[in-house]
Amino acid sequence: MNKQTSPSPPHSLKRLLHKKVIPFLIVILIGFVIWIIPHPDEVSAEAWQLLAIFVATIVGVVVKPLPIGAIAIIAMSFATLTKTLTLENVLGGFSNNVVWLVLFAFFIARGFIRTGLGTRIAYIFVAILGKKTLGLSYGLVATEFILSPAIPSVTARAGGVVFPVLQSLARSFGSDPEHQTQKKIGAYLTKVIYQASVISSTMFLTAMAANPVVVTLTKQAGYSISWGKWALGALVPGLISLIFMPYFIYKIYPPQIKDTPDAPKIAKEHLSQMGPLKKEEWMMLGIFILLLILWIFGPFLSMHATVAAMIGVSLLLILGVIHWHDVIKDDKAWNTFIWFATLIMLASYLNNLGLVSWFSKQMVVAVGGMPWQGAFALLAFIYFYSHYFFASNLAHVGAMYPAFLMVALGVGTPPGLAIPVLAYSSSLFGGLTHYGSGPAPLFYGSGYVSVKSWWYVALMVSFLNIIVWFGFGSIWWKLLGFW
Amino acid sequence: MNKQTSPSPPHSLKRLLHKKVIPFLIVILIGFVIWIIPHPDEVSAEAWQLLAIFVATIVGVVVKPLPIGAIAIIAMSFATLTKTLTLENVLGGFSNNVVWLVLFAFFIARGFIRTGLGTRIAYIFVAILGKKTLGLSYGLVATEFILSPAIPSVTARAGGVVFPVLQSLARSFGSDPEHQTQKKIGAYLTKVIYQASVISSTMFLTAMAANPVVVTLTKQAGYSISWGKWALGALVPGLISLIFMPYFIYKIYPPQIKDTPDAPKIAKEHLSQMGPLKKEEWMMLGIFILLLILWIFGPFLSMHATVAAMIGVSLLLILGVIHWHDVIKDDKAWNTFIWFATLIMLASYLNNLGLVSWFSKQMVVAVGGMPWQGAFALLAFIYFYSHYFFASNLAHVGAMYPAFLMVALGVGTPPGLAIPVLAYSSSLFGGLTHYGSGPAPLFYGSGYVSVKSWWYVALMVSFLNIIVWFGFGSIWWKLLGFW
């Protein structure tokens, strides 16, 4: 085992009993209440128990009686102990390829930091746009946006490509969770870039893995969506939200560092001090470009983004750009690995055990007989915010999209309105939580944004997105003659 | 990410090119040679490629061009890249329950260290048997042996119960890999206790998970083995090897600290200084006893050893006996998690892809026509040492035991000889490698024994075991009238 750098036992015990006991009681109480509610006949006891465990876990993640990873382990134990899930079910999440893509993204980011390439790229950004924090955020948003049609894995794109630069940028401004300086600039940039990745995922059919699934499911309902039509429908709302979102977050979740008039000059000096690219920076750059290529052409090579990342990490290890002993010391990576795998697993069984389909059926009943405007608004609202119960866009789409589209059309919603609203919601809702989409755990795991801030800002941005995408959007689609 | 404590890039690169390049070439060459050998018709191309990858990986683990964990990642990449295995196959190992039992055992051991309970127990051992290192080793061997009939998971027993005490003992003698003092006493104790766990696993039907499988498979061949008969047959050879093995390792792999005349006195002083059990020690002790109970009665409660460990870890986290931020900083645990899961996965597919059954068939042909003595000796030898290709006793038994028993009986070996030899081999061969059975990665992962020492000592002990178990054993079984 490694060195013992931890508070003395009795101390931690006191902390537990005094400060931790209330959150604990909240979690247990909420879980218990749901647990004892008699489950509907259509829902199995296991499914209902799992709902109780899942909700309690999410509450635990928010009120934090213990670190999120510890809560995940406890949730796993409780689920197996109560025979709600089997040991195999519970451990299954650790083979999930998105979880591994996130883990590998952590390792790749490490390479950017070790070699100094990340810092260099950050300084280049600063040198060009560094006068104002807002300018920087737009620079990163633009990067994310330009790559989005090309890299169909949002986790690879936002996590593997933009995230390392974002990290180095924050560090170059002395913003680092290790030193409690997240608020300086890192927290703001993290939220903005993450939300940008959500929006750009929505704008192109090829910007996120779940989008093609949406198209397939829509086709099964009898309507076809082309790449162009998807992009056209998303163009105006997408651009508007990409333009307003960074400023919006700037207002509701401002960075401490706003104006940095001298930053460009300083950045240029740093760059000149750094001199030409070091040998290891060249190697990092080369592997990074290879990764870009593999992520862009992966679909044609039928290579999964996680395989590409695995190859990238292997090359980094072989060339000594990253060292294994650094990689395994990356506690943030392992922490994320544990809790994200657990949440994905719990959420997927909520679906597999039939809770979601039961819930969807209740919806059908609920909105029956309403005028289509009201019915559809309710459906869309529920479809969007039910994402608090999912740890993957793909899972959410697969579980709810067909049912909700069917009902929406059933109550008489014009297809040209129902389809874009539900289709675009299918990636927009990924922004809500720190586990709601592939890259989320990575951005959250870097430690810049607390759970509470994450959920607050995300909720606000979701309102903005809904207004822009479905308010202005519906007008835009009317103009386009979609409906 | 966490702090950057790693040699400067160019340096590591030079190291790679100069010192690492030869081992690399060896690994690649061996893998390549096997790869290009035309595969037999009965064996699929994938199976043969996997053999090449597996052998290259094992060679890599021994000659170490990179840390074992890095080699595992590279092996995974290569297997997926060459379409030998799918991404799902490759990531599947990380859901293996034995892998998780090992990981949890690391976390439990951390609790022993943090609370000081491990040190206390260690001092008690030293106070009683501490005059000589040899005495200490027999003390631990006795502990392992007494628990073995009761705890059917050797990983839980040797890993979860004895390992933490062993670690604390080594530390109490100032033997710690962190300070390059493994050889003082820790390395010796690690090898002895691990080999003791292998021998005690062999002695009782309920001492290892694979033993009941052996009994079942033997029954299918038409012969029954009772708990008593198993124990009776193992009694004499088992006790002889338990008595000789520690001394044997003492001779071929001696500890630096041999005589510690004052140790008991010092230990007693330490114990009096420590005073009564601290609150956290009580909690650790309570959870430890709970674990013992769950591990002993698990089979009756139909609770898997991994579930019990998971519950133990959860309680330790809830009570603050261990802290999550310590747990995720345990790089040795994560390193072991990665490489052990990968080796288990590779080995299991060697079997699933039919390579093992093909190999067994070749055996049948090879020994046909030989006199039974020679044929059986050859079969037993191959059955035993083919364990270099397995990362689990259970897998090895399932894959080869029925075929080899059938052939052995087919060539005319007396059942009363063939069955005990193959049955007892089925746990004895677990001692060969640092990945050959559940607890092995834990003992190896603690960093006290290098791969080369591990393999050397293990091979020597395997000779001792074969002489004792199958030399004296066959006489004992004759006396018992087995054959």
Looking at every residue in chain B, the average pLDDT score rounds to: 90
| Structure tokens that stand for B134 in this block | 């040899």
Q: Give the one of A1, A13, A317 whose C-beta lies nearest to B279's C-beta.
A: A13
Alpha-carbon distance of A110 to A321, in angstroms, equals: 9
Residues A374 and A331 occupy one common structural domain: yes
In which band, very low, low, confident or very high, does the pLDDT at A15 lie, cut at 50, 70 and 90?
A: low
Q: How confident is the model at residue A151 (pLDDT cuts 50, 70, 90)?
A: confident
pTM of the predicted model, to two decimals? Answer: 0.86
Nearest-neighbour CA in chain A from B317: distance (Å): 7
Give which of B120, B113, B114, B201 is closest to B164, Cα–Cα.
Answer: B113
Q: Is residue B409 part of a domain?
A: yes
Q: Is the domain of A432 the same as that of A474?
A: yes
pLDDT in tens, A90-139: 999 999 988 999 899 889 988 888 898 988 888 898 889 888 999 989 98
Residue A377 included in any domain: yes
A:280-309 residues touching chain B, CB 8 A cutoff: 280, 304, 306-307
pLDDT surpasses 70 at A7 = no
Instruction: State residue B17's pLDDT score.
Output: 58
Min mean pLDDT across A152-156, B8-12, B63-67, B444-448 is at B8-12
Residues from chain A contacting residue B10 (CB–CB below 8 Å): 278-280
**B418 contacts: CB under 8 Å, gap ≥ 6:** B376, B405, B408, B409
Quick one: pLDDT at residue A5? 42
Q: Find residues 172-211 of chain A whose CB sits inside 8 Å of chain B.
A: 178
Let me know: does A338 contact A118? Beta carbons within 8 Å: no
The Cα of A70 is separated from the nearest Cα of chain B by a number of Å equal to 6
Same domain, A107 and A71: no
Provide the domain count of chain A.
2
Cβ contacts of residue B459 below 8 Å, gap of 6+?
A: B432
Which B-chain residues 71-90 have CB contacts (< 8 A) with chain A? 73-74, 76-78, 80-81, 87-88
Find, in chain B, the residue whose alpha carbon is nearest to that of A324: B70
Decide if A6 is inside a domain: no
Q: What number is the ipTM of this complex? A: 0.85
- DSSP-derived letter for residue A414 is -
**B115 interfacial to chain A (CB closer than 8 Å):** yes
* Residue A282 vs residues A118, A268, A279, B379: alpha-carbon distances, Å: 12, 20, 5, 54
For residues B285-293, average pLDDT? 92
Distance between CA atoms of residues A320 and B55, nearest Å? 23
- What mean pLDDT is predicted for residues B186-196? 96
Chain A touched by B311 (CB under 8 Å): yes
**Residue of chain A whose alpha carbon sits nearest to that of B15:** A320
- Residues A296, A91: Cα–Cα separation, whole Å: 31
Tokens for B395, please give them.
């897998």
Look up residue B23 and give its two tokens.
């081992």
Question: Given CB atoms, is B165 within the 8 Å cutoff of chain A?
Answer: no
Alpha helices in A148-262 (DSSP H): 154, 163-172, 186-203, 210-220, 227-252
Q: In this predicted model, what pLDDT tens digit does every residue of B5-21 receive, in sequence order?
A: 444 444 555 655 566 78
Yes or no: say if B200 and B241 are a contact pair by the CB < 8 Å rule.
no
3-state secondary structure (DSSP) of residue A132: strand
Q: Does B429 have pLDDT greater than 90?
A: yes
Q: Are residues A388 and A458 located together in one domain of the fold?
A: yes
φ/ψ (deg, to 5) at A188:
-60, -50
B132 phi, psi to nearest 5 deg: -135, 145
Host domain of residue A34 = 15-85
User: Which residues on chain A are in Cβ contact (under 8 Å) with B318?
Assistant: 16, 24, 66, 70, 74
Cβ-Cβ contacts under 8 Å, B316 against chain A: none
Given A40, A61, A85, the domain boundary residue is A85
Closest residue on chain B to A327 (Cα): B331
Q: Which residues pair with A132 in a beta bridge?
A: A259
Report if residue B2 sits inside a domain: no
Residue A297: its pLDDT value, please?
86
Q: How far is CA A396 from CA A79, A152, A353, in A?
A: 22, 18, 14
The strand ranges marked E within B246-321 are none
Interval A200-212 mean pLDDT: 91
Residues B303, B296: Cα–Cα separation, whole Å: 10
Are residues B142 and B178 both part of a single domain? yes
A64 close to B (CB below 8 A): no
Q: CB distance from A310 to chain B under 8 Å?
A: yes
Say whether both A56 and A101 belong to one domain: no
Contact state of B91 with A70 under an 8 Å Cβ cutoff: no
B8 CB contacts (<8 Å, ≥6 apart)?
none
Tens digit of pLDDT for each residue in B316-365? 999 999 999 989 998 889 999 999 999 989 988 988 898 888 888 888 78
Secondary structure of B82-121 in the HEC alphabet?
A: CCCCCHHHHHHHHHCHHHHHHHHHHHHHHHHHHHCHHHHH
Task: Give the pLDDT band of residue B56 (cuts 50, 70, 90).
Answer: very high
> Do A27 and A127 fall within a single domain?
no
A335 and B323 in contact (C-beta within 8 Å)?
Answer: no
Whether the predicted pLDDT of B96 surpasses 50: yes
Of A85, A115, A134, the one marking the end of a domain is: A85
Q: Tell which B residues from 260 to 279 touch A, by Cβ distance under 8 Å.
A: 278-279
User: A46 and A107 in one domain?
Assistant: no
Residue B13: per-residue pLDDT: 58
A7 touches chain B (CB under 8 A): yes
Chain B residues within an 8 Å CB radius of A87? 97, 304, 306-307
**B244 inside domain:** yes
**Which of B35, B65, B85 lies at the terminal end of a domain, its last residue?**
B85
CB-CB under 8 Å, B81 with A307: yes
Task: Provide the 3-class DSSP secondary structure of residue A259.
Answer: strand
Contacts with B35 (C-beta within 8 Å, 6 or more apart), sequence order: B48, B49, B52
User: pLDDT tens across B111-132, in order?
Assistant: 888 898 988 888 898 889 888 9
- Chain B contact set for A110 (CB, 8 A): 1
Torsion over CA of B116, B121, B122 and B128, rounded to 10 degrees? 150
Phi-psi region for residue A244, left (φ > 0), alpha (ψ -120 to 50) or beta? alpha
Among candidates B97, B278, B331 on the partner chain, residue whose Cβ is nearest the Cβ of A328: B331
Count of A-B CB contacts under 8 Å:
195
B7 in a structural domain? no
At A395-424, the pLDDT tens digits run 899 888 988 998 899 889 999 999 999 999
Same domain, A403 and A440: yes
Geometric angle at alpha carbon A243, from A241 and A248, rounded to 5° = 75
A28 touches chain B (CB under 8 A): no
Set of chain A residues whose Cβ sits within 8 Å of the Cβ of B333 = 1
pLDDT, mean of residues B30-41: 94
Residues in chain A: 483
Q: Same structural domain for residues B110 and B71?
A: no
Q: Do B320 and A109 touch (CB under 8 A)?
A: no
Confidence (pLDDT) at A12: 58
For residues B142-151, one letter each, b for 16 or more C-beta atoms within 10 angstroms of the residue's C-beta and e for the rest, the string is ebbbebbbeb
Residues A19-51 pLDDT 10s = 678 889 999 999 999 999 999 988 999 999 999
Q: What is the pLDDT of residue B459?
A: 97
Q: Does any domain span residue B6?
A: no
Q: In this structure, are B63 and B112 located in the same domain? A: no
One domain, residues B65 and B151: no
- CB A335 to CB B328 under 8 A? yes
Neighbouring-strand partners of residue B259: B132
Whether residues B334 and A335 touch (CB distance < 8 A) is answered with no
First to last CA, chain B: 64
Q: How far apart are alpha carbons A63 and A20 in whole angstroms?
A: 9
For residue B467, being part of any structural domain is answered with yes
**Residue B350, pLDDT score:** 86
Phi, psi values for residue A81, rounded to 5°:
-60, -40
Sign of CA pseudo-dihedral B272, B277, B280, B286: positive
- Cα of A46 to nearest chain B Cα, Å: 18
Q: Which residues from chain B sit within 8 angstroms of residue A91, using beta carbons?
A: 95-97, 100
Cα(A337)–Cα(B350) distance, rounded to whole angstroms? 28
